[in-house]
């Protein structure tokens, strides 16, 4: 119950911040629709895997990574995190409650993106499970990245700049799903690779999964090191 109460409160606070709300609610949808208009009517699964990867990474980059960074930075600077810690809720419950709205919204938007692509002519995946797996793992990656980056972000406005490098890497990863194994050294390529496998039915699963897990573990360690509950 505590998690749900925190999630409801966080959603209300998120809606009050126009920058975060626009980035989390409107921008992914607008970009997702625009991207899905580009492929020609005879585009094959390989082309659509790039489109779908771009849509999903856009959603995760904005609705999860950026929103988590901005929200935690803002809650820390206005002492909201400090006040929450003075109550009965554990640190884990506090974080889960605060992060739940963005994660749930991202999953709903991702499903919407897949629906838009299908309407615009994308073929059905040969095997949808790699997409689901990649979406779950990359969501965890972006949550960890957001917590870590919030420790280096002093306000929700500054999050526009501190999140930009990784956000651009994530978005650029969408075109590297079928590239050389070295591309898996980038954090978002694991998801793009799993989408390519789902759409085409070919490619190794384990390297893509390993890339996402390795990046998530690294970012979790950075989050534990960098995250702060109180302003300096």
Cβ-based neighbours of 223, under 8 Å, separated by 6 or more? 144, 147, 148, 151
pLDDT at 218: 97
Per-residue pLDDT tens digits of the chain, which is 232 residues long: 678 888 888 777 777 777 766 766 777 777 777 776 666 556 788 888 988 999 899 899 988 999 899 989 989 998 988 888 888 888 888 999 999 988 998 998 899 888 888 888 888 999 999 999 999 999 999 999 999 999 999 988 899 999 999 999 998 888 887 777 888 999 999 999 999 999 998 888 999 999 999 999 999 999 999 999 988 7
pLDDT at 217: 98
CA-to-CA distance for 140 and 137, rounded, in angstroms?
5
Query: pTM score, two decimals?
Result: 0.91
pLDDT at 38: 66
Do 126 and 194 touch, CB atoms closer than 8 A?
no
pLDDT at 177: 74
CA-to-CA distance for 225 and 184, rounded, in angstroms?
25
pLDDT at 203: 84
pLDDT at 36: 65
Burial tier of 27 (Cβ tally within 10 Å: 0-12, 13-18, 19+): middle
């Amino acid at each position: 119950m505590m998690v749900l109460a925190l999630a409801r409160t966080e959603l209300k606070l998120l809606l009050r911040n126009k920058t975060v709300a626009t980035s989390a609610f409107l921008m992914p949808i607008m970009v997702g629709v625009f991207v899905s208009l580009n492929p020609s009517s005879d585009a094959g699964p390989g082309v659509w895997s790039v489109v779908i990867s771009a849509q999903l990474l856009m959603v995760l980059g904005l609705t999860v990574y950026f929103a988590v960074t901005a929200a935690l930075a803002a809650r820390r600077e206005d002492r909201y995190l400090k006040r929450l810690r003075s109550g009965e809720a554990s640190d884990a419950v506090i974080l889960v409650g605060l992060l739940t709205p963005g994660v749930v919204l991202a999953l709903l938007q991702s499903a919407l993106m897949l629906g838009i692509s299908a309407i615009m002519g994308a073929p059905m995946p040969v095997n949808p499970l790699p997409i689901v797996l990649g979406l779950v793992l990359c969501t965890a990656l972006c949550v960890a990245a957001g917590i870590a980056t919030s420790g280096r972000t002093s306000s929700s406005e500054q999050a526009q700049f501190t999140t930009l490098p990784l956000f651009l890497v994530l978005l650029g990863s969408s075109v590297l799903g079928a590239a050389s194994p070295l591309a898996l050294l980038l954090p978002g390529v694991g998801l793009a690779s799993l989408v390519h496998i789902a759409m085409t039915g070919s490619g190794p699963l384990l390297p893509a999964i390993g890339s996402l897990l390795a990046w998530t573990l690294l970012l979790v360690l950075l989050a534990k090191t960098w995250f702060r509950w109180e302003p300096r």
